[in-house]
Amino acid sequence: MATTDGAVTEPTGVEEETVEKIELTAEEFEEKLQKEADRRVTQAEKKWKADYKTELSRAVAEAKKEAEEKAKLSEEERYKLEREKEKEILEKERAEFMREKLLLETERNLAQEQLPPEFANFLIGRDTDETAENIVKLKGFFEQKVQESVDERLKGKSPKIAGQTPTTRYTREQVEKMTQAEVNANLATIEESMKSWD
């Protein structure tokens, strides 16, 4: 098989996929891009129309069925059915209202606990008590992780006291001014320094 540069290659038995390279001007590229965008929009529109027709047909069939069932009922039964539907709608709206109220209260509680209010959706429980428990758990977990991060960063680092080199011994006054974390971090050096104290 001959290539474009004149070299001959042996066939491998596997068909090679050829990629055709075409060159387009900016206008041609924009035109092709627009055609593809138009094709995709048209395709999405057709799908939406089909889905809409299906949903509309389902809703119409459901309404017809409901109307037929109502026609079979007595006046009193129709009244009861309508009241039940109104009650269901009212309960649904009440549940949505209570969730929104709980969400706002949760955001306020998170802000008071100095936690990001964006966590509210993840912490909402069935009621205020469950939500409060979730906030307490998050705060404890959050504080624990912050402390672990601080401890990890302080681990193995000795405090830098001005004018001291790492081989300097600590005086009693210097040790007394250290925090417990600094004492723990420098315990070996402090113990060595204590041998020379009076």
pLDDT digits (tens, 9 = 90+) for 4-28: 454 445 555 555 677 788 888 989 8
Assess whether 90 and 144 both reside in one domain. yes
How many angstroms separate the CA atoms of 33 and 66, rounded?
49
Cα distance between the two ends of the chain: 95
Assess whether 150 and 84 both reside in one domain. yes
Assess whether 167 and 137 both reside in one domain. no
pLDDT for 7 equals 47
Assess whether 143 and 109 both reside in one domain. yes
Flag whether 123 is in a domain. yes
Flag whether 12 is in a domain. no
How many angstroms separate the CA atoms of 174 and 71, rounded?
94
Q: pTM for this structure?
A: 0.40
Assess whether 175 and 150 both reside in one domain. no
Flag whether 94 is in a domain. yes
Domain total for the chain?
Answer: 3
Task: Please classify residue 106 by burial: count the beta carbons closer than 10 Å to its beta carbon, then call 0-12 exposed, 13-18 middle and 19+ buried.
Answer: buried
**Positions of the chain with pLDDT lower than 70, given as ranges:** 1-16, 156-168, 198
Flag whether 20 is in a domain. no
| Three-class DSSP labels, 56-121 | HHHHHHHHHHHHHHHHHCCHHHHHHHHHHHHHHHHHHHHHHHHHHHHHHHHHHHHHHCCCCHHHHH
pLDDT for 166 equals 52
Give the Å distances, CA to CA, from 74 to 70, 71, 78, 85, 128. Answer: 8, 8, 6, 17, 44
Assess whether 54 and 67 both reside in one domain. yes
Flag whether 5 is in a domain. no
- Contact call for residues 175 and 190 (beta carbons, < 8 A): yes
Containing structural domain, residue 129? 77-155
Cβ neighbours for 188, distance < 8 A, ≥ 6 positions apart: none
From 137, 155, 173, the end of a domain falls on 155
Flag whether 10 is in a domain. no
Assess whether 89 and 139 both reside in one domain. yes
Assess whether 36 and 47 both reside in one domain. yes
pLDDT for 38 equals 92
Assess whether 82 and 148 both reside in one domain. yes
Flag whether 16 is in a domain. no
Assess whether 100 and 125 both reside in one domain. yes
